[in-house]
Structure 1
Amino acid sequence: MEIPKLHIIQHSRCIPLLFLLQLSSLQFASLGYNVPDKYFINCGSDDSVTESGKVYVGESTLQATFSSSNTERNQSSVPSPLYQTARIFRRDSWYKFDIDKNGTYLVRLHFFPFSSPTNLSSARFNVSVPGFWLLQNSDGRNDTNNNSALVKEFFMEISTPSIKITFRPLESSFAFVNAIELFVLPLHLISDNVAHFAPIGGTSPLSGGLYSRVLETKHRLNVGGQSTRDILLRNWIPDDIYLTYPENAKNRSAYQGQIVPRVGDDADGPNATSYTAPSEVYGTAKESKNSSDNATELGLFNLTWALPVDNNTDNFLRLHFCDYVSPQVGLTYFELSIYDAHVMQVNSDGNVSNELPAPYYYDFVVSSDNSGYIKVSLTPNGTAPVRNAFLNGLEIMKVIESSNSVPADLDEHDSDHNRLPVLLGSALGGLVLVVVVVLLGFLWRSKMRKEKPVENSDWLPIPVNAGGSSHSRLTDITSHGSPLPNINLGLKIPLIDLQLATKNFHASQLIGKGGFGNVYKGVLKNGMTVAVKRSQPGSGQGLPEFQTEIMVLSKIRHKHLVSLIGYCDERFEMILVYEYMEKGTLRDHLYNTKLPSLSWKVRLQICIDSARGLHYLHKGASGGIIHRDVKSTNILLDENHVAKVADFGLSRSGPADTQPHVTTGVKGTFGYLDPEYFRSQQLTEKSDVYSFGVVLLEVLCARAVIDPSLPRDQINLAEWGLLCKNKGILQEIIDPSIKDQIDQNSLRKFSETIEKCLQEDGSDRPSMGDVLWDLEYALQLQKGANATQREPYEDSSSSVSASLQLPNVRRLPSLSTLSEADDTIVRGDESDSVVDSVFSQLKIDDAR
């Protein structure tokens, strides 16, 4: 095997390196492609190891050079030889690879933070190639399975003599990597020319082509089949957990013959080559279940997959098809939709092949919304001779755009010594200015340290693309020539105050993570303890949610809605500051936790508190507000287990009085999402009611709302819970820790409330006010059970209030008459003093 040349260089400064991404004119021989032996690197080791049949060479055989003061090795005894060593970087460092063939390259980075004195799990770092961020603020951990390695896979065009992969530790942290793969791919595996699909506007050519971007693998599904690995060492996994309506689909029997894709690697779609996907993918599929003509016409047997993706990004979709059932071409054709918008008719006709089975694929670039997923649907065509739809494979890759914020690389042959004359020759006055600025900065930092000591004294770096330190996203002039409306500038908090409050966002202050960013505990200068939610600096993502959260929370007040203390948008930061909730999220107390189990009465009260907050949001706030992301992680608990609803970044104003709904893109969280809203994109308050019904079931059963490890009919908690209730076996899935505490009358009322909330039709669901009344009733039934013996509760629809003598159970005021200021739906024995003390510091002139 050829010993490739590799350099690992480190330096804290960089100069520009030209990185061109363009279509290569190099041609492969028709049958000449084999996966190259280079580069497969066992990082942090001098020894070569074999993993999954591939040899990963040790760094000593690569003639690598290291700076011992800045890099180190770490070793472990984990079973996989590839993850027994790691290379650790304390400052910006890179691997440099010589490139001898232009083309599309695959880059895989392996991370496994094994137990070690260095504590690899505390790493925080970025990874870049010239012009592109591959990873930002990564910790190298596999969030879905802590016992598995994190493998990040990227596709990029390289037409330069060499390429550098740079590891950049974040402030006061380090970077590491266990293994690296880089090799050229067959020609035309991915085409530069691809259609961009927009739900409104159809398809159009992607501006600039794919070769000017980098692709990051997000999903690679063997639809209807099992896990498999192909010749390019790509892993394909089953699709079942991503099916939206599993009852509509079935696995097609595997093809018993041999499916031979088009020979060679000179095809450019839609015909599949021998490298597009393996025969194991094209030889299995999911198809529509047989149904009546009428059912199919109503679209009840669509095949739909919803796959998690990053919000508001472009994504490359590849759909694989192979009809190995139809006796001849042209009999089976069906409709492809993305986000419920029609894309094309799929038909294995003569344009693909005159013979079956013939594997083929279609590529699209699709812009995701901020719902957190991409939805792909296949619908049988009612006029087709064979009324069916099928899919064999599905790939989704994130499209990474180039970024000016990536620091340019310094060539390893440059040094400070030979650069000094250039600096001196520029201007002596410039040097004096630098000295003055540094001196003033030192005096300023000394003054701030005297005000309040900070453990981590290194301030955050200003992003390359930042303007002045006071730059504000929210006050930028919009396309209409005016600042964004309704932003309460009185709530702005200087960045320096938040750095002091959180010890400069030190890891010791980290209390949580979410889609928006990290959450830190902090103490403001006035002594108030707060939760500080900070987006990834400079990412540019989440700005609409950031604005929405400020606009919503600066205008509403309720003791069961988390209070916004302030925000910061300096230096391209997006930071939200909330009142601190001592006990964390409701989810933290329900399952997979070491915290003490909550009693049934406490859980009921938490549900009532949350319902009060949502009821006020729907009817007590100006115009009505729909939360759109009700879930157990967005219900927070204070030190007394008083619940407050949080996270209003996806919130929308309710429909006007003359409209029944708001038409909008679907947003929310899997498992909690209202199926009616999912299908129709028509949002109402009843969508929150559905999500809250899932939360109620989660409270009762203490399990995740989506658990792919369970049997198919139990994966979705909402579906499983309703099925158990209808079978009369709901008792079997109740959290064992509270099963003996629950009065049967209280349980029956509570379960009926869940069932009403989870109705398929939004019009059949109760309002949040009615849900609140039912929950209060269930609590009174529970309290009554603890005080007296009663006859069994036979029928929730009958009037039992008189016999139970529940004087505190009363019907709430009519929802139509509840005004914005009518904040009467709170517990009578609670004091407002704590809440008032919080809001007295908000400086909100128009708070309610």
Structure 2
Amino acid sequence: METLRSHNPLLSLLFLHLLQFSSLSLLSSAYTLPNKYFINCGSNSDVSVTGAPNRNFISDENSGSFYLVGKTSSVSDTNTSNSSPLYQTARIFTNPSSYVLQIDPSGTYMVRLHFYAFSSSKKNLSNAQFNVSASGFSLLSNFSVQNPIINEFMLTINVSEFIISFTPTQKSSFAFANAIEVFLAPNITDVSTPPIHVTPSGARGTYDGLLSQALHTVYRANVGGPPITPNKDTLWRNWVSDDDYLVTPNAAKNSEFHSDRPAYRPGGATEYSAPDLVYQTAKELNVNSSGGSNFVNITWRFNVSKNAPHFVRVHFCDIVSTSYNDVLQFNLYLYSKFSQNIFPYNVVGQLAVPFYEDFVVDSDNSGLMDIIIGPRNDSITKTAFLNGVEIMEVITGSGLVTEVKKPPKKHLFVVVGSVVGSVASLLMLVVVVVVFLNCKRAKPVEPSVWQAIPDYGGGSSYVSTTERTVNGFPLDNLNLGLKLSFQEILFATNNFDTKLMIGEGGFGKVYKATLRNGMKVAVKRSEPGNGQGRPEFHTEIIVLSSIRHRHLVSLIGYCDERSEMILVYEFMEKGTLRDHLYILNGESQKSSSQSELSWNQRLQLCIGAAKGLDYLHNSSGRGIIHRDVKSTNILLDEDYVAKVADFGLSRLGDLDQTHVSTGVKGSFGYLDPEYFRCLQLTQKSDVYSFGVVLLEVLCARPAINNSLPGKEVNLAEWGLFWQKKGQLENIVDPLLVGKINPNSLRKFGETVEKCLKEYGVQRPNMNDVVWDLEYALQLQQTARHREPHEDSTTDASWVLPVPAIQQLPSHSIPIDEYDIPMDDFTDTSRLYAHGVFSMLNIDDGR
């Protein structure tokens, strides 16, 4: 991310980070400069921007290769003399809206978003506040523009239609964009060699799966040289001087290469890795005339996001050595605890040949990243140099891709248009009938019966109209008996001691804490003063204060004062279910070698989670739909008891209602396709999501893995493919191979297949799922021979005894047979004797 200088926006117009981790075998020497997409937003005319070569930004009103979906308008700058033509118009979005681009071929694309907050007669663009998402990633959150700025991202696109969505964060707010660029980048790196992974402690590893993440450009610096403007760069990039980032400026001196061009060599850096000017200048250790130096190293310090992975590329070109006799090697340090030997001659075999080194560096809690170079004792020449630095933040959380419908194309001739229009109308009628039949199989319901919990999206914000309302919704039904003072929270968390922080996500930070009575709890705190997530905050309080079950995480209390939003849960010692299945975040997306869960244990965990969901659907008396069932929302206590967590997206209604029309919420990879298609939420939507979880448990891999071949990316589709072939054992977690009874696996596979049926009416309810899973567990434990047809029965009641359900009197908190007796509710120390709730790794979803 970089700020444009207001006195000359053209000089800072376009910058592009051309790292390429694409699977394409494109050679950079054969790369052709792109001609799409360069979009001039909010204008009915094209704009040509000078560069090498020029680029033509086309109007977003008259293109046939992309289209807009949603309610939009355009505005113009009232003072056009202060900006380039590209920034004199903007597209305004007052509701969630999207650009839909036709993409061919697949690969890693650069996405650049231009924002210039001018004032017009209609809007002051500096008042905008919005979110931007694309390709399942949240790119910008609560974003507002005070200075002209370009945000640049790199994403892998393997779909034919690429969607960039703009969503205002409040009803009174809006979103805007001045220009958009999306184009395929040249292949300038070897995808077969993953970058080195570096932690703040100096640990070294490899970072796999970078293709499945998005990258956000933070810095691009020309070390030892002046700023490089887009018209001097082969791909319109903008490089700043490194001088502002030097910790000790006197430790370095500038070096310059006086030859015409660097000596590019096959397999190394190219003119697309960085322009000639980057490799023709460098910072070198300031050595005095006697060959010594008063400085031991050169340090650059950059402000970065805390506790986040960052892709770092450092550029080298040996322009400081005078001959091959001066064999030069030196150390590159990251956070001073990690060192890498840089030996240019050993890498490229001659002087003045550009090359680079790639790393993924985890930032620490300071928000600072140090890049250091220093001489080595075994080097003939005691110096060090650096030519360029690029830093990009790795965006690991994925979100929901909004479904959009392509508008009908205009026809040029009246006669042809009439004929085509008639045919289209007929086809549309057929489609409407089919969709109506598919989406109306359940009894319709008026939305008014579902108003106990309001339907808020992830982008909703708190509107401070009154102490007793949130976006018009009365808060009188919050359980005030659970309210905790902020002072109690400060005591429990030791003033939010960072040493007690065990997680961080979209809602905020999570701390392991201890209340005054000695109870261990998990404290989830939203960022102070941030209204984002307040509707979900109240939703979770309303839901969890009215239910209690052994397989649902319990709410201990909440704090809603001093603009704070704090939830206090029982502590879950063993973390999330996903933690025990596989490792993400670049280390591995397959099963973890540390997993100790047997098939018996996995089945028991699935049964527990299914019982929790069944209670929500049927036994709570409220008909609650969770709406975000996934492996990170199933937590394990110290005794490996599974509990369903995170009810911020839940919906609540009467049990005799079968579905409700609502905006799509949830997590990518777990969404019920019928819910996504028809916008009708049912309890069977949770059943579908749970079917995906069952496959995660069996296969020990994530629901979506973009680093895999196309047909394997979606776990639900991949699992159903093998299940229908009768060969589900082919994708079982390697740690379970040979350890699952075939009859148990067959029953489990049939349960998964039923949960993942295309239409909700074809899926079982959660009670049936519980029975099927218990039957699969019994087949595993008994391992006795049965005929195949016996194991495929839906009703297993003839095999398993029906547990007696103890009906206890309750006015507000229903209890099932596994729960603590009602008498214990008067003693909170006994109620939460197990002291449970988890580190809540809120790294995706809410």
TM-score normalised by structure 2 residue count: 0.49
